[in-house]
Structure 1
């Protein structure tokens, strides 16, 4: 039998997660969208003047993607046609991931 303390702890954890993911902010939208697929090529290059992130769409169809930065502002949601690439420069933070949007 599971102790009452474990059940209450589990319920509190699940409730907290639901509150975080249930917010309507941009972070929640990125979390719902999910990681970009592997057909989005990524090159991340740290330079003295900032972080450069280059993405190329090799998915065979148009994709909407966004660069997520830890400890800094995320990039905007961008539409990339098949074969199209784009580059972003960030002054603050480090690369976290690329998500669909």
Structure 2
């Protein structure tokens, strides 16, 4: 029971310090058109299949998009040029899907 009480005391003290510090400044909202951010009409589905892992990037925009898949603890994809209404698949064997970004 002592470790629980110590943890509670630690968390309560940390909360008190955070409140005493005052409100933090809000982070500015990220612009969807900023470099690296894909537009909302580009989506990614990631899943496992028999050969490993797949990240499927779909372009539902009205124009061609360029995107790459970023893998945590693994190799990122090359830059895909994806025409409207189509998609591109990136197959990888290790790491975890991180995000999809413009390139």
TM over 0.5, shorter chain: yes
Corresponding residue number in structure 2 for 1:90: 92
Cα distance, 1:35 vs. partner? 2.0
Q: Does 1:66 align with 2:68?
A: yes
Q: Which residue of structure 2 aligns with residue 45 of structure 1?
A: 47
* Structure 1: gaps (5+ residues): 1-31
Equivalent pairs, count: 70
From the two aligned structures, give the one with the greater helix fraction: 1
Ranges in structure 2 where 5+ consecutive residues have no aligned partner: 1-33
Deviations 1:72-94 (A, max 9, x none): 00000010011111111101100
What is the aligned partner in structure 2 of residue 29 from structure 1? none
Q: Distance in 2 between matches of 1:40 and 1:48?
A: 25
For residues 22-45 of structure 1, the C-alpha deviation after alignment (integer angstroms, 9 at most, x for no partner) is xxxxxxxxxx73121221121110
Normalised to the residue count of structure 2, the TM-score between the two structures is 0.62
Among 70, 75, 78, the alignment partner of 1:76 is 78
- Report the structure number with the largest CA radius of gyration: 2
Counterpart contact for 1:35–1:97, Cα < 8 Å: no
